Amino acid sequence: MTATEAVSLLRSKEVSPLDLVEASIKRIETVDHEVNSLPIHCFEQARDRAKSLDLETHASNPKSLCGLPIAVKDYNDLGGAVTTYGSPIFADNVAQKSDATVRKLESNGAIAIAKSNVPEWAGGHTFNPVNGLTRNPWDLSKSAGGSSGGSAAALASGLVWLATGNDLGGSLRTPAAFNGVVGLRPSPGRVPRGT
C-alpha cells in the first residue's frame, strides 16, 4: 500500500490512525531486527498521538497526512526522543522539542513512530557506533547507502509509508536508489531547517 492509499483509507475512516500505527509497530518488530533501519522507537508517543489526533480537522484538508505513521531521520529532532546523529557524543541527547521539519509534518497530521538510522556525521554508508549497521532489505549483504539509508531501508521494508531525510550531496538520492524507493530532494530552502 502506498502513502497515498494509506491516507485515502484514513480520510475515509476505513482505518484509524491507531490501526496504522499498530500495523507499523508490528511490521517493525517482525522485520527490522535484520535490517536495523529504525533503531529508535517512539511507539508509546505514537500511540498517544494517534489516539488524540483530531481526524475531523485533518480529513477536510486535502494536504493532510491524516494520521499517517512516518519515520524521522536521526538528524531531525523529535521532541521527547533521542537525537544521536549516530555519534556516542550524543547517545543520550533527548530533544526538548521537535525541529521545524518535524513540527510541519506533525501539524499536517503525521505521526512519528520511530527514528531512522544514520551514519555518524552524515557519511556515505549507514552504520555508526551507537545504533550499528543498517542493511539493504533487498540483499542483507549490501549497503543501504547514506546518509538517509535508515529512512530508505525502512521504506523498502514496508515499515512506514513516509520518512524524512536530507540531502546536500546525494544523501537522499543515493540511498533511495540503493533501496529501490523514491527520494525527493527539494530545492534548497524549500524545507525548513533548525528549530
By annotation, the residues acting in catalysis are 73, 147, 171
Helix 17-35, helix 149-156: angle, nearest 10: 110
Residue with cell 547517545: 91
Quickly list H helices, 12-156. Answer: 17-35, 43-52, 55-59, 100-107, 149-156
Type of residue found at 30: T
Q: How far apart are CA 116 and CA 28, in angstroms?
A: 12
Per-residue cell: 7: 491516507
